[in-house]
Structure 1
Amino acid sequence: MIDSKDMQVIGLCRFSYPALGGFQVEHDTIEDRIAFLYQEDRLEERFQLMETVALPCLKAQTDQNFEMILLIGDTLTKRHVERLHDLTTDIPQITIVAHPPEPHRPLMKKLLNGARKDPKAPCLQFRHDDDDAISVDFFERLRAAAEDVAPLLPQHRTVAFDWNRGYIAEMSSAGIAAADTVRNLYVASLGMYVRGGCDLTIMNFRHGIMNQFMPTLSFTDTPMWVRTHNGYNDSRQKKVKPVPVTPLTGEEAAQFKSRFAIDADQVRTVFA
């Protein structure tokens, strides 16, 4: 019987990494992509979102037994690299890794497989976007879900776990505006079991269609993620239908702080 408490939990987050491929918005050359990703106003927004949204929820996890690779480009300027190290210094689970531009999926798979302490043992994997938040009990719930379906796991190379209730949110100097929603197979709060001896990773699959390749369990009982809409969402650079959001009520602001470690006062200060 598989014991989820012993499973290694490994994740990957890309911070403005100039991959070859992997973006919905295309660029003619890798130089054009780097210039786009490293625009000062874009990077400032990414840092603001990392500081207020993507990192606090990791620091506050009820289960601290996880590891995350934070991937950056090897040409990211020194002051930005130092700023990133400063923001993550109190989250020892994060390892910052710098790489030159490489084909997107092969590199992501190599990094995740390289992080496995024992490739013959099963593990749990996740992805984390630098502008999204997961609930503070995500890893606790991921392990519990794997435990609940333990007899199912050895029969499959991979199994997905999808918490599909959350918030679309916009951050600004005015605070937080959001809309609660249910969306299947978002990146945030999506986990995957990988059988021992299998070299598939969560980055082998487009997140939105993972259920076409493996058994997928969905949970809708409580909000588990915050996805921010901002000036540089890759998936929203093309014409898409806007999502109407409204300022958080006092009760919702309290929930954002307790469920996601997102502090509305900090958001107002950082985005001012």
Structure 2
Amino acid sequence: MQIIGLCRFSYPALGGFQVEHETVAERIAYLYSELRLEERFRLMETVALPCLKAQTDPDFELIIVIGDSLPKRHLDRLHDLCADIPQIRIHAEPPRKQRPVMKEILNAARRHPARPCLQFRHDDDDAVSVDFIERLRASVSDCSGLIANNRTVAFDFNRGYMAEVGASGIAASEVHRPYYVAAMGLYVQGDCPLTIMNFAHEKIHRFMPTVTITDAPMFVRTINSFNDSRQKAAKPVAVEALTPAQEGEFIARFALDADHIRQVFSAA
């Protein structure tokens, strides 16, 4: 079954952000500011990409959506970061309304629209477990009766970590959070035009059956300077520095290397 992921990398959508701007030009200026993009690139390099490269089931694809105005030096840097992950395709779009353009991209990526597929979203500052794709595919097989009677079914791996990463390494706290973007997948029946972008992730359970799987940590959601959801009031999350043993567990589970994170975030 085809598995398609979608990642927005500083795409200047019309709507889709909790931080509002009066004009497209203001949004582009905010998204492409040197301070913000430097942090996004460091998070992409150390958090979002390693877990994809290490997936135990490599049979998936990820579309990274960028704005067609992303400066060339940043586009080249993104291509360089993704060069050794053949599952990734970078797709440029002009500013458009977020949900219509993302739905269009996902449906265009379906090689066989008459067949079912699985879809997931991947934020550029989060990680999933290295067996996420494998387990998502297996969950569909486990729920064959459920998917036979529904156009869409969501699979929510709701256990993971909130984490801060930086020059000192990784500090984290284990959490259970339902219907996050990270580590949630969507089954879509053949000949169904719905996509994972048709639904606000935290409300997806209002529109379809959902399956909750909570046996192991499956995501790392980072807390950083430019989280869109944290630019407004948000409840703080207490995190603690990982022990050496826990750092080893994060490498094995999420391909998050604390030494690499220290090196990247310590760079001038």
Q: TM-score range by the shorter chain?
A: over 0.9
**Which of the numbers 12, 31, 37 marks the counterpart of 1:43?**
37
1:140 deviation in Å? 0.3
Does 1:173 pair with 2:167? yes
C-alpha displacement of 1:126: 0.3
Aligned: 1:245 with 2:239: yes
Q: In the alignment, does 2:176 pair up with 1:191?
A: no
Quote how far apart the aligned CAs of 1:263 are. Answer: 0.1
Aligned-pair CA distance for 1:212: 0.7
Q: What secondary structure sits across from 1:136 in the alignment?
A: coil
Give the TM-score normalised by the residue count of structure 2: 0.99
Paired with 1:256 and 1:212, the residues of 2 have a C-alpha distance of 33
Is the counterpart of residue 134 in structure 1 residue 95 in structure 2?
A: no
1:208 aligns with 2:202: yes
Counterpart position of 2:252: 258
Residue 62 (structure 2) pairs with residue 68 (structure 1): yes
The DSSP-based 3-state class of the residue aligned with 2:248 is helix
Match of 1:112 in 2: 106
Distance 1:248 1:89 in 2: 30
Deviations 1:94-122 (A, max 9, x none): 00011110010000000000000011000
Residue-by-residue CA offset, 1:116-164 (whole Å, 9 max, x unaligned): 0011000000000000000000000001100001121121010000000
Is 1:95 aligned with 2:89?
yes
* Counterpart-to-counterpart distance in 1, 2:183 and 2:250: 15
Please give the TM-score of this superposition, normalised by the length of structure 1. Answer: 0.97
- Distance in 1 between the 2:217 and 2:147 partners? 25
* 1:25 Cα offset (Å): 0.8
Letter in 1 for 2:82: T
Distance 1:201 1:21 in 2: 18
Amino acid at match of 1:111: I
* Whole-angstrom CA distance in 2 between matches of 1:241 and 1:134: 23
CA distance in 2, matches of 1:235, 1:70: 20
> What is the CA RMSD across the aligned residues, in angstroms?
0.5
Q: Which residue of 2 aligns with 1:143?
A: 137
Deviations 1:57-103 (A, max 9, x none): 00000000001110000111001000000000000110001111001
- Structure 2 distance, partners of 1:155, 1:165, is 27
Unaligned runs of 5+ in 1: 1-6
Q: Percent identity?
A: 64
Deviation of 1:252 after TM superposition, in Å, equals 1.4
What secondary structure, in the 3-state scheme, does the structure 2 residue paired with 1:184 have? coil
Structure 1 distance, partners of 2:141, 2:19, is 39
Report the Cα distance in structure 2 between the residues aligned to 1:204 and 1:150, rounded to whole angstroms. Answer: 23
Query: In structure 2, what is the Cα distance between the partners aligned to 1:177 and 1:242?
Result: 14
